[in-house]
Amino acid sequence: MKLRPWTPGPLAESAAGPPRPGFLGLAAFLAPAYLRFALKIRSVRVTGADILGRLYDESRRGESRFLVAFRHPGDADPHLAFWFLHVRLPRDLGRRRRDFGGRFLAGAEIPLWGGPLVRWALRNAGTVPVRHGVLDRETLDSLVASIAEDPRPVALAPEGQVTYHAGTVQALDEGVARLALWASDRRAGEGRPLPVRIVPLAVDYRYTPRARARLPSFLSRLERRCGLPEGPGTGIRARLDRIWERLVSLAEEHYARTYGQAPAPEGTGIRERLERILEGSLSRLEAFYGRSSPGSDPGGAAGFKARTLAARSAAMERVFHPGARWEGLCPLERGLARRTAAEAFFLDRHQQLVDLGEYLDPAYAGPEGSETPPDRLVEIAQNLWDLANRLEGGDISTRSRAFRKDVILTVGNPVDAGRREGETGRAAARRVLSDLRREFEALAAGSSRQ
């Protein structure tokens, strides 16, 4: 796998306005081909479009404001959410495109993975670059003002990053609730109170029969890649378990040989062995950047996520520089900046491993002896291929898109994000986040019955 170190440059500024009309027209024209050939999506079914239609109407009449929170189990979700709000929704409702859409949040690091075309698209799409793990007061103020004043919503992924498992709702970031509450408080403080709501948008994938039929051959490729004998004649679940064991064993051998990290004691489960590898990776990053593990419980899903975002923030500080400072650098200083960015890039390979590995768990396939849903088997196979990529130094841009799929977008019931009398900001944020999680879980339960 070819690795290209990052190139340093000026810090991108938040987009000042909505997407450019010409870009939206181009996106609408290219969307069918992009969905079909780039994202491998055969069809998209939408449920609950009328809920969003009513909220857009209320917001334009000055009766409320809202955010759209979309699930983020895969790399296609932000593309789908953007297309849905800007193109598909107005078409389904028979309305003007300019009355819909909104501002989208995107990680400031995405252009590093996506290249020049992605950077151009993000600029023209009006996305707001957000540096995870950093309190950027200017960006926060801009977003709160947009939610409070603009009739079109801010759209964001409340999980904060890709979670790789569509079948389970992962931990949600408090930030989505905080933004809504701050916007509500701002309106109330100015004597112009309005309801502020958060609308959940579920993203579910259903792999086509032909895609499911390709799973055995895909596993054969992965087995050869891992140095395993091919396993035709054995069940899919057994082959996945064997690949799991091989990938973790190879990672343990590599980390022991390269970094002197002792593997887990014999008899330790796969998930615990993987967590030990992830802990070693994060500890090396934290030692290099001089950052300690946040909280009293640095391990586990929540701890890994916070530490991963903090490591990403430290890496971004070595790549992106304030515009005035960057322009003032002499040639030698820019050369040193390139060296520093390259160091951050190669260190980030550890972070990229944790970014995926923190979510992976063999238990996702269900209890041993139980029947795993076919879509989940495909998802697990792709995640294991991705794990092999991350061990080689890849990132989400190298994720496999070998399986064509159908998509179901489901709009859930809006969650009110107003502070109750006597309620602190933290208590209100937790309550709103709990309500939002319940809505997502209800959508996931309904999807599993379809």
Q: How far apart are CA 249 and CA 270, in angstroms?
A: 9
In sequence order, the 6+-apart residues with CB closer than 8 A to the CB of 69 are 155, 156, 157, 158, 176, 198, 199, 200, 201, 436
What pLDDT score does 69 carry? 98
By C-alpha distance, which of 99, 116, 152, 121 is closest to 22? 121
Residue type, 21: P
Q: How far apart are CA 66 and CA 424, in angstroms?
A: 21
The 10s digit of each residue's pLDDT in 252-269 is 999 999 999 999 999 999
pTM, to two decimals: 0.92
Beta strands per DSSP E along 220-367: 320-321
Q: Give CA torsion, residues 237, 238, 242, 245, to 10 deg.
A: 60
pLDDT band at 124 (very low <50, low <70, confident <90, very high): confident
When computed from its CA atoms, the radius of gyration of the chain, rounded to whole angstroms, is 22
pLDDT band at 270 (very low <50, low <70, confident <90, very high): very high
Q: Where are the chain's structural domains?
A: 10-208+404-448, 211-398
For residue 83, give both structure tokens.
Answer: 């297309």
Q: What is the mean pLDDT of the chain?
A: 91
Note the helical H segments in 115-173. 116-124, 137-149
Name the CATH superfamily, with its identifier, for domain 10-208+404-448.
Answer: Glycerol-3-phosphate (1)-acyltransferase (3.40.1130.10)
Q: How far apart are CA 19 and CA 343, in angstroms?
A: 35
The 10s digit of each residue's pLDDT in 362-384 is 999 998 888 999 999 999 999 99
The pLDDT of residue 337 is above 90: yes
What pLDDT score does 133 carry? 66
3-state secondary structure 418-445: CCCCCCCHHHHHHHHHHHHHHHHHHHHH
Question: Exposed (0-12), middle (13-18) or buried (19+): which is 30, by Cβ within 10 Å?
Answer: exposed
